Structure 1
């Protein structure tokens, strides 16, 4: 079975069980923390995915990282360890966050600009994302990239609105490179 399919099934089970037990928010915090650790610490990712390191050692590392973790999260780590699925942990966490957002009606959008946005600009982007997605709650991920020269790039799900000067200059460059006219001699 594919990694996506397996991780989606585990994530769905974890979401359903955490809703049933009334600990959805606590498990979400643990999954977000796990993703943050995975993003910032490449050694952790290597250790979790390593076939050489035994499952019980991986479980000890996870429990050490989550001393105040939710009981359901820790039990979930135990199950993954017994099944030998620790290498899927970060994929499961990503799938869990996606399912959580879907359950709560949250649309995640990524905005890339050349500068840090203020509250007014943030609210304008949220308004645009609400119109595009028909969801009432929006979570903006803000990125600063000087290479886009000016404007912005907005990603909502699988859609992308690229209003950066860099993309407009590239489009002009492409247009000028096509010689639509012949020279008359």
Structure 2
């Protein structure tokens, strides 16, 4: 838990600096790339978490991998490593994406259904969700055959479950009382 709080704080600080220096797009692209590289390379994660590898070697490796990064991002990464927080870099990159979306007024919404939904049905669901929030909906669709039918909408801590499986479970609970 402590690490994700730290990651969020570092990500917020980086976003604040990027806004101040008018480099939000460049830093966002850098952090997205960093998250991808860290996720796809467990050896990099292991090296970052290793106490055996010295900070200057870690900085050299990161500079070689991320040489095309904006100067602000490079300085930020160096600061993180010098402060001994390099193990949090992938978490910071993920937190940055969440905080950036919040800053931009983008609300991630996940729509889960038993099968691919018709475009008209999707539009209706998105418009209902859009009416209940402030910001822009960023829709991610998932298919889960276990729902049997209907859909589940998730946004932040809120979940709207209009699935057949949920209705069957509720009916089953009422009948077993």
Q: TM-score range by the shorter chain?
A: 0.7 to 0.9
Deviates more, 1:120-129 or 1:22-31: 120-129
Q: CA deviation at 1:125?
A: 3.2
- Give secondary structure in 2 for the equivalent of 1:107: strand
Q: How does 1:13-28 map to 2 (within 5 A)?
A: 13-28=13-28
Q: CA deviation at 1:19?
A: 0.8
Q: Which runs of 5+ in 1 are unaligned?
A: 179-185
TM-score normalised over the length of structure 2: 0.84
CA distance in structure 1 between the aligned counterparts of 2:122 and 2:19, rounded to whole angstroms: 31
> Partner of 2:116 in structure 1?
116
- Give secondary structure in 2 for the equivalent of 1:140: strand
CA distance in structure 1 between the aligned counterparts of 2:143 and 2:43, rounded to whole angstroms: 26
Q: CA deviation at 1:120?
A: 3.6
Q: For the Cα contact (< 8 Å) 2:31–2:96, is it kept in 1?
A: yes
> What number of residue pairs does the alignment pair up?
177
Deviates more, 1:27-36 or 1:152-161: 27-36
Deviations 1:9-54 (CA, angstroms, capped at 9, x unpaired): 2112101110111110121122223333444444444443344444
Q: Which runs of 5+ in 2 are unaligned?
A: none
Q: CA deviation at 1:75?
A: 1.7
> Partner of 1:140 in structure 2?
139
Deviates more, 1:122-131 or 1:55-64: 55-64
Q: For the Cα contact (< 8 Å) 1:129–1:156, is it kept in 2?
A: no
Residues 47/160 of structure 1: CA separation in 2 closer, same or farther (3 Å cut): farther
- Give secondary structure in 1 for the equivalent of 2:111: strand
TM-score normalised over the length of structure 1: 0.81
CA distance in structure 2 between the aligned counterparts of 1:10 and 1:75, rounded to whole angstroms: 13
- Taking only aligned residues, the RMSD between alpha carbons, in angstroms, comes to 2.4
Q: For the Cα contact (< 8 Å) 1:80–1:86, is it kept in 2?
A: yes
Deviates more, 1:82-91 or 1:48-57: 48-57
CA distance in structure 2 between the aligned counterparts of 1:48 and 1:5, rounded to whole angstroms: 19
